[in-house]
Structure 1
Amino acid sequence: MEESVHIDDLPEEILPYIFDHLTLQDLKNVSLVCRLWSDIAFSGRFINKIMLRLDFRDGIQNQCERYLLDSTRAYRHIGFYYRSDQMELDMLLSVLEKFENTIVTLKICPNYFIMLPNLRQILLQVPNLESLYIVSRICPDLSKKDEGVPFPVMRKLKHLYLENDGGLQLDEIDFRVMTPNITSLDMDCDSERALIVYEHFSQQLRELAVFFKRDDFFLPFCELRFSQLEVLDFYSDDQQFEIPEAVRMVSNFFRRMPKLRKIILRCNINEEVLAAITESCPELVTIYLKGDNLGEKSFRHLGQLKNLKSLKIEGWIRCNILQGCSPIPSLDKMYLHSVLIDDTQGFFRLLKDIAPNLRTLEAIESDIDDECLKYISCNIASLRCLVLEFCPNLTEDAFSFLDRLKQLHELKLGYLDVPSNLFELMPQNSVRHFSLYRCDKLVDEALLVIAEKFPCLSYMEIASCHKITLEGVKAMRNLMPNTEIESFMLF
């Protein structure tokens, strides 16, 4: 009989490769096992998964001083949360000084505002910063005590997020000089100075997020050229797309982005704009959009995108929006969020042929009903991940054909009004990862059936199901000792 091998018998250099496969929560758990595991879990590439959150609003300064300043961990991502009127600047600066050579991401989140001199002091402490998030208004120093002291030039900075464009109006700070090499910019475009900043960086940006709270600068912005752009998050007033001149300019705006790979449209575009996007951006992999203004056959344009992998739709759509669309073999993820369809089953009949390799289907706040889910189970055999949340038309009968999905490995159910006998009516299936969230009619006894119906289960998560208790989870663990079962917010 061969002797078993314990993990402690493995060479130390093997552990990072094992840890590579752990979730962030599991990585935190293994860090508690011993000093060696802790050093591995919080070093090298693993530390990149962690953002250290320092919340000074709850009076933790003393804890920071006691634990953080003695830490040997080389934190790379830090978020500061504090009250603007009680900012412990010296403490913040001491933390930054501790990690100044390793910090690449800094998130500054005061309750109200940040004073210009304080921002300057903070940024002087992080010379290697690559990402900066200023989640507040930047206010001038009315005392003018340090007038003339320049901001540092942050040549390594690649990503800049400004929640408020107030800082752009201050003569003391000029992001065009201060952050000359950024390739990612996220801010509103509601002032002349904001427009000037966008224009200045337009030819070097790879990622862009823009939000128009006012219409004044919408069309001037659409005249800019972002020829290197790969990712765009675009948020505007829907009324703009009722104006022919605006539609023409927006269509031309997208025609100048041949390298675009991901687009998020937080507005109801029309078919003319969608056609311009699909014809001019052949490298698109991800599209998120609203469908309220799109008529029948509007999605036929998507058939031109040979690399499209992920499609997310919000709003109201017609089932025949897919008519005329050529098959898209690359499309493997479909997200329906807050979607109403005039004929849901008709939509999936078309989707079956258009996305023959669909692997992920996520329906949140959708009108999918029992017959529709049965159709999906019997006809979209390629599904590996199914997420259903806030689908009020689903009953326990909807899952009676779940076993037809032979490749289904991940199932997530949330906010469903299913009865306690849900699992008794489910057939035996191939699901390996199973999540339950806020299914409030399920009781402890229902969990005991899972061992029979989910024989391949390796991981389960149960959260905020108010009739399920920790005792019920414990009984389930005894029945399924080889299944990792996580529970949250249970009683």
Structure 2
Amino acid sequence: MAYFDLLPNEILENIFQYLYFKERKRLCSVCCRWNSILFSDQYLRRHVVFHIEGSRLLDTKKPVHRVYQALSLKIESQWNNEMMKNLRLVNTISPNLEYLRLENWGSDHQLGSIFDSLDLAKIRQLHFTGTCDTVSGLLCVFMSNLDILKINVHHVQYFNLCAPNLVELFLYVRSEDHLDLLSQFADQLIKLTVVFDSKNGYFFFNLRFPRLSELAIDRSMKGMIKSDQDISIAFFKRHKQLRKLHLSIKFIDSYVMQEVYENVPNLTDLKIQVSEGTIELSSVSKLLKLEKLAVTAEKVYLLSHKFPKLKQLQLGSAETGPGTFVYGLENLMLLDSLRTLILHNVMFYPEVLKLTPVYNVRILHINNYKRLLENHLQILVKRFPAVYKLKISSCPGFTLHEVEKLKKMNPRMKISFDEVRFGQFLKQ
């Protein structure tokens, strides 16, 4: 304990960052100094959300020793006096509220009462789920400092939000009313994520976002085919300024994919996820500024194309049950700038045994293999002799015994992994 007293607060904060919340709570009773460092304003702002759920009444007899800038509020369908009492205490617990996660299953005047009870002036992030159903008319909310909005609600036609500084939006699209809400902020958004609840895209591809630099589209229930190529290609022609694009779709026609990428030449971050079909990277090769690339499909062809600035390549995904088959792994030799390779349950054909060693990859991640064969991993380590960091995650059956063998092959390599015991992962 004496040695810890000699350490400055900044060093102790770096040490305590490895602790979980329950461990911090136990240690805060050691002394006043530890209490102030373990639950500093900086830690509370970034990691702690005060949760109020339903009619569970807060204890008003206990004094509030800390204030919280992040609040989670769950409203049940049954409105009662206990919930109203909790709302009156919110401004005491969170006088400078910056983050609000609201889950509402009430209706009528209840939602208006919630917003009236909160100080909305300083909120910068709002995550809103549940329903906006109200029979009393349109609900108008003004949030002058709101930067980020995540909304996944029903009956959004009753919700009118004025947020002049909003730049990032996550929207779960269920009807045209949701896109009407989106169109209100089209001129100011920089980051946008849209998730479609059905095959219908409504009029999304007719919209224009002049400031948008990061876009994620989830249409996993429908593919991009030639029948709608004109409207989708025209959409990307209007958004040449995009720097980051994530596409999650059922399948995509190779012609449409090539035309889309030709119209967004400034991409530095691209993620393609399809549940059916094959992805050939020949259509991506014209993206000369690409630095991060993630591809998820049943089959992926790594053809002999150079990406002069590509630093990180991710293949496969935890969601792909049987795994992703990769052809042409030897073409990784052509990616001179590649430093990080992430493999999620990727299957290789026997040609990998003939792979010439690749010396540009420095960091290798092996994730989500249901059965990771020792021989398989040793082959990969031999083919990437310059790797100095190896991370193995969610791979049942991999133990410390295999780690020792890999270290003998490359003594300079640092290895981190999850060891499975009794059905639980133990981080090493």
TM-score range, shorter chain: 0.7 to 0.9
- Map 1:409-420; keep pairs closer than 5 Å: 409-420=363-374
Aligned to 1:131: 125
Q: Counterpart of 1:260? A: 242
Q: Deviations over 1:327-386 (max 9, x none)?
A: 72x423221223423xx3xx2432xx23454334343245346x855x267554644333
Mapping 1:98-177, distance limit 5 Å: 98-109=92-103, 113-124=105-116, 125-127=118-120, 128-140=122-134, 153-168=142-157, 170=158, 173-176=159-162
Read off the aligned partner of 1:408 and give its amino acid letter: R
Match of 2:44 among 35, 43, 47: 47
Residue 462 of structure 1 and its aligned partner are, at CA, apart by 0.5
Tell me the secondary structure at the aligned position of residue 132 of structure 2.
strand
Q: Deviations over 1:116-154 (max 9, x none)?
A: 43322332313221222221123336xxxxx69975532
Residues 190-199 or 119-128, more deviating:
190-199
Where 1:449 maps in the other structure, the secondary structure is helix
Q: Which runs of 5+ in 1 are unaligned?
A: 1-5, 142-146, 269-289, 474-485
- Once structures 1 and 2 are overlaid, which stretch shifts more, 31-40 or 197-206? 31-40
Q: Give the counterpart of 2:73 among 57, 72, 80.
A: 80
Q: Residue 411 of structure 1 aligns to which amino acid in structure 2?
A: H
Aligned partner letter, 2:366? K
- Check whether the contact 2:193–2:216 (CA below 8 A) recurs between aligned residues: yes
What amino acid maps onto 1:461 in structure 2?
A: F
Where do 1:168-247 residues align within 5 Å? 168=157, 170=158, 173-176=159-162, 179=163, 181-188=165-172, 191=175, 193-213=177-197, 218-219=202-203, 221-236=204-219, 238=222, 241-243=225-227, 246-247=228-229
Note if contact 1:210-1:234 (Cα within 8 Å) is conserved in structure 2. yes
Query: 1:434 aligned to 2:428?
Result: no
| C-alpha distance in structure 1 between counterparts of 2:422 and 2:357, whole Å | 27
Distance in 1 between residues matched to 2:423 and 2:139, nearest whole Å: 59
1:197-241 Cα offsets, whole Å, 9 max, x none, are 33333323333334455677723x444433233333334574775
More helix by share: 1
1:78–1:103 contact (8 Å) kept in structure 2: yes
Does the alignment pair 1:340 with 2:299?
A: yes
| Secondary structure of 1:89 counterpart | helix
Task: State the percentage of identical aligned residues.
Answer: 16
Query: Counterpart amino acid of 1:412?
Result: I
Q: Amino acid of the residue matched to residue 52 of structure 1?
A: V
Name the CA distance, whole Å, in 2 between partners of 1:149 and 1:310: 39
Q: Is the 8 A contact 1:203 1:226 kept in 2?
A: yes
**Unaligned 5+ residue runs, structure 2?**
none
Specify whether residues 30 and 453 from structure 1 end up closer, same or farther in structure 2 by C-alpha distance, changes over 3 A only: farther
Distance 1:406 1:440 in 2: 29
Please, what is the CA RMSD of the aligned residues? 4.6
- From 304, 307, 312, the equivalent of 1:359 is 312
Contact residue 159 and residue 185 of structure 1 kept, 8 A:
yes
Cα separation, partners in 2 of 1:140 and 1:149, compared to 1, 3 Å:
closer
Structure holding more strand per residue: 2
1:462 is matched with which residue? 418
Distance 1:422 1:415 in 2: 11
User: Of 433, 445, 452, which residue of structure 1 is paired with 2:408?
Assistant: 452
SS of the aligned residue for 1:160 comes to: strand
Contact kept in structure 1, 2:316 and 2:344, CA below 8 Å: yes
Q: Deviations over 1:371-422 (max 9, x none)?
A: 855x267554644333222234579x96997974465234233224233566
Aligned residues: 412
Amino acid paired to 1:115: S
